[in-house]
């Protein structure tokens, strides 16, 4: 965690509305969502399937455009910039972890991770910080395996390594434990918590699992496209009071 100084907001969501149109029918996914996330904070957005939480994550990541409202990423309104600028924000400032891993089956774990470096413009990833991340994730002996040779937990750890290898300021994870058994879920959550603690990354996870949400500093509960509750853990509440 970042120390006890006042931290800036790196993600700000203002009156976010998202309506999908299916034929002539309008289906509201988000109905006026407002919240902010501070630098170095670990936030979990929890709610049942269909409550709009994955749509919210995709909007924050600039993968979708909202019907109305505004999202600020480090002070920049991502819905107001060009497609190129939005892509650059994702490429330089964000990492994504998906429930389905999204690894390329024809590449080894090493090559899947190196691909993220090449996309950012740096094809070399075997530096000290990369080795530290790989050790932290327990991947040092799995780097030459292809995804189909790895367990689900190992594939998710490769996906996390790929997402954080460029040290993004913001890490977005959509149901990162949704396909895992309880032991692998625990390992993945501990790794995310450690990455947040060691590197001070801002992490937002989407989950329907209360145990996964309990890992975070703060829980945002959603239902029917709206925020119901915002729950801070004790440490976060103390920090906010002192700042």
pLDDT tens digits for range 15-69: 999 999 888 899 999 999 999 999 999 999 999 888 999 999 999 999 999 999 9
- Per residue in 74-116, pLDDT tens? 999 998 999 999 999 998 899 999 888 889 999 988 888 888 8
Indicate whether 72 pLDDT > 60: yes
Q: For 1-41, what is the HEC assignment?
A: CCCCCCCCEEEEEEEEEEEEEECCEEEEEEEEEEEEEECCC
Pairwise pLDDT comparison (160 vs 127), residue with the higher score: 160
Residue 35 exposure: Cα atoms within 13 Å on the Cβ side? 24
Strand partners, 205: 44, 173
Q: Is the pLDDT of residue 134 over 80?
A: no
Average pLDDT over residues 196-224: 91
Contact 227, 13 (CB under 8 A): no
Residue 20 counted as domain residue: no
The CATH number for 198's domain is 3.40.50.300
| pLDDT at residue 58, as a whole number | 94
237 domain residue, yes or no: no
152 within a domain of the structure (yes/no): yes
Q: Which pLDDT belongs to residue 68?
A: 95
Is residue 101 situated within a structural domain?
yes
Single out the residue of 236, 238, 184 nearest to residue 211, CA to CA: 184
Q: Is 238 part of any domain?
A: no
Does the residue 196 lie in any domain?
yes
| 30 belongs to a structural domain | no
Give the total number of structural domains in the chain: 1
pLDDT-based confidence at residue 238 (cuts at 50, 70, 90)? very low
Residue 132 lies in a domain: yes
The whole domain housing 227 covers: 41-63+83-232
Please report which confidence band the pLDDT of residue 127 belongs to, taking 50, 70 and 90 as the band edges: low
Distance between CA atoms of residues 35 and 125, nearest Å: 35
d(CA 230, CA 220): 5
What residue has token string 């603690």?
Answer: 197
């Amino acid at each position: 965690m970042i120390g006890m100084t006042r931290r800036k907001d790196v993600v700000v969501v203002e009156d976010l509305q998202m309506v999908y149109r299916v034929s002539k029918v309008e289906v509201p996914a988000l109905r006026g969502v407002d919240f902010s996330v501070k630098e170095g904070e670990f936030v979990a957005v929890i709610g049942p399937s269909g409550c709009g939480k994955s749509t919210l994550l995709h909007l924050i990541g600039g993968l979708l455009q909202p019907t109305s409202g505004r999202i600020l990423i480090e002070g920049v309104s991502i819905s107001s910039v060009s497609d190129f600028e939005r892509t650059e924000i994702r490429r330089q400032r964000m990492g994504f972890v998906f429930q389905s891993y999204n690894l390329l089956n024809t590449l080894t774990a090493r090559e899947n991770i190196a691909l993220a470096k090449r996309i950012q413009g740096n094809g070399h990833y075997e530096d000290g910080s990369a080795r530290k991340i790989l050790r932290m994730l327990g991947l040092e002996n799995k780097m030459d395996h292809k995804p189909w040779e790895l367990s689900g937990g190992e594939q998710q750890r490769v996906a996390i390594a790929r997402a954080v290898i460029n040290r993004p300021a913001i890490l977005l994870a959509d149901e990162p434990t949704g396909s895992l058994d309880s032991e692998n879920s625990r390992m993945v959550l501990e790794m995310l918590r450690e990455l947040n603690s060691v590197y001070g990354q801002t992490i937002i996870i989407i989950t329907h699992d209360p145990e996964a949400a309990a890992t975070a500093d703060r829980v945002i509960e959603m239902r029917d496209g709206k925020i119901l509750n915002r729950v801070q853990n004790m440490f976060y509440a103390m920090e906010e009071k002192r700042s």
